[in-house]
Amino acid sequence: MIQGTPPVFLSKAFRGTAALCLGLLFWLGVTSPTRAAEPDSTNFPERLKLWGGYQHLFGLDARYRFDGPQAGIGTTFDFGKDLGGETSDHMARAGAHFRLTPNHAIGFSRYAINLRGDRTILDVDLTIDDVIFSAQGNITSQIGLTIYRLFYD
Amino acid sequence: MSPGIYLGDFNAEFLGSATIRVGNIPPVSEAATVTETLFVPLPTIGIGLEYRISPRLKIQTRTDFFYVNVKQVEGSLAEFTVGLEYRLFKHFAVGATFNRLWLDLDWKPGSPDGWAVQSSWNNGLFYGALYF
């Protein structure tokens, strides 16, 4: 993890959301163990699900560090605050869910994030992979992340 | 409990005025571009549940988690999703989900190919689904 920052699973936001999730899972599991497993009374098909839609990403918080062979550990920088990077994006997301048996299924989804930044570095030099971007200099940046997710249910 | 895997294909490009140091040659200042590419497979374990509020409407939630702390790699990933789906027709449904993801990875700190990322974000998804 990035030095000086606590592990993400110790963060207040994560613990709050995890507690909410566990509570919801507990409620669903305790109050409706039979209904959740009931076959659909209207016999809707469930074997294969193909889905796609619009996704809005927001509230991005991103810190990075890239080390190099000469400088060693690079500078930890905040993409939004230090590089003027975008913190929201919208994209298409698509996936599939294939039910092998009534109790077993596999799923897949994919989406791609593309964010840009443009800013004058204010206070300190920024070392990224042995290259030192000088304080008071302008830096433009682009970050892309494609996430593929596979799971078994 | 269900296993899964996240495959993250990351690329970044930084352009600006930079000081370049190569070997023992005195540093020079010039325009520079740094490109980084990473491909990270992260196995996870998760739990998911769905509950039919009515024959056409269901609520679904899922949580996935990953944590590793070995010699040169330390990190965690967690994702929480909750959503509603309504079956408009026999073969077509619409849905909306809220999703939050946390990612915290440190790969070979201090080594020539070391890197670290600490990130989190929210997703709101509106989708249509075909069922067969």
Reported as a single tens digit per residue, the pLDDT across B93-112 is: 999 999 999 999 998 876 88
pLDDT of A134 above 80:
yes
Query: In angstroms, what separates the C-alpha of B117 from chain A's closest C-alpha?
Result: 5
pTM summary value: 0.80
Structure tokens at B29: 């200042």
pLDDT of B23 above 90:
no
pLDDT per position as a tens digit, A51-106? 999 999 999 999 999 998 887 889 999 999 999 999 999 999 999 999 999 889 99
Rounded CA Rg of chain A: 22
pLDDT at B111: 80
Taking the C-alpha atoms of residue A147 and residue A77, their distance in angstroms, rounded to an integer, is 22
Report the DSSP beta bridge partners of residue B11.
A144, B37
Q: C-alpha angle B122/A7/A133, rounded to 5°?
A: 80
Contacts of B128 in chain A (CB under 8 A): 51-53
ipTM field? 0.87
Taking the C-alpha atoms of residue A134 and residue A123, their distance in angstroms, rounded to an integer, is 9
Structure tokens at B33: 């571009």
pLDDT per position as a tens digit, B36-86? 999 989 999 999 898 999 999 999 999 999 998 887 888 999 999 999 999
* B positions 71-130 inside 8 Å of A (CB): 74-76, 78, 80, 82, 87, 90-91, 95, 100, 102-106, 108-130
* A positions 42-81 inside 8 Å of B (CB): 42, 44-73, 76
Q: Pick the residue of A25, A67, A142 with the most B CBs within 10 A to test the interface with B by mutation.
A: A67
Query: Of the ranges A20-29, A120-129, B33-42, B66-75, which one carries the lowest mean pLDDT score?
Result: A20-29
pLDDT of A35 above 50:
no
Query: What confidence tier does B26 reach under pLDDT thresholds 50, 70, 90?
Result: confident
* A positions 132-151 inside 8 Å of B (CB): 132-134, 137-151
CB neighbours (10 Å) of residue B132?
A: 10
In order of A7, A53, A113, B13, the CA distances from B119 in angstroms are 11, 24, 13, 17
Query: In angstroms, what separates the C-alpha of B25 from chain A's closest C-alpha?
Result: 13
Strands A89-101 and A131-133: unpaired
Contacts of B52 in chain A (CB under 8 A): 35-36, 38, 40
Burial of A100 (0-12, 13-18, 19+ CB in 10 A): exposed
Mean pLDDT of A35-62: 82
Q: Which residue of A has its CA nearest to B119?
A: A62
Query: In angstroms, what separates the C-alpha of B57 from chain A's closest C-alpha?
Result: 11
